[in-house]
Amino acid sequence: MSTEIYLQRVPDAARIYNVSEAEYYSRAVRGLVPAPFKIGIRASRVPSNETAAVSLALIAGKSDAEILKLVAELKLARAAQFTKFLHTATGVQPEQAS
């Protein structure tokens, strides 16, 4: 398995789970797959590492509750990665929690 992270189109991510795009979005709303994010007016993507993590959990037979927890953790990690990138690229300090 590749450790390289790339941005997957939603139809490609849906194909990995063997579901339609509509079902993928339905699962994303329920927190069972990573939610896509917008990269343009009509374009959304899903990080390949997140798709792979959920796929492995499904293969391992994890329950919906465990998948929900994993997807929530992936969402937090995505936000943390962005904050770290923003700080590194711009020197802007992350807001301190009060």
Q: What is the pLDDT along the chain (98 residues), one digit of tens a residue?
A: 557 889 999 999 999 999 999 999 999 999 999 999 999 999 999 999 999 999 999 999 999 999 999 999 999 998 888 777 777 877 767 665 44
**CATH at 86:** 1.10.1660
Residues 20, 48, 72, 84, CA torsion sign:
negative
Give the domain extent around 24: 7-90
Q: What is the pLDDT, as a whole number, of residue 2? A: 59
Q: Are 57 and 66 in contact (CB under 8 A)?
A: yes
Crossing angle between the packed helical segments 48-59 and 10-17, to the nearest 10 degrees:
10
pLDDT of residue 98: 42
Structural domain contains residue 97: no
Whether residue 46 lies inside any domain: the answer is: yes
What confidence score (pLDDT) does residue 4 get?
85
Please count the structural domains in the chain: 1
DSSP E strands in the chain: the ranges are 7-9, 37-38, 44-47
pLDDT of residue 21: 96
Instruction: Evaluate whether residue 39 is within a structural domain.
Output: yes
The pTM for the full model equals 0.80
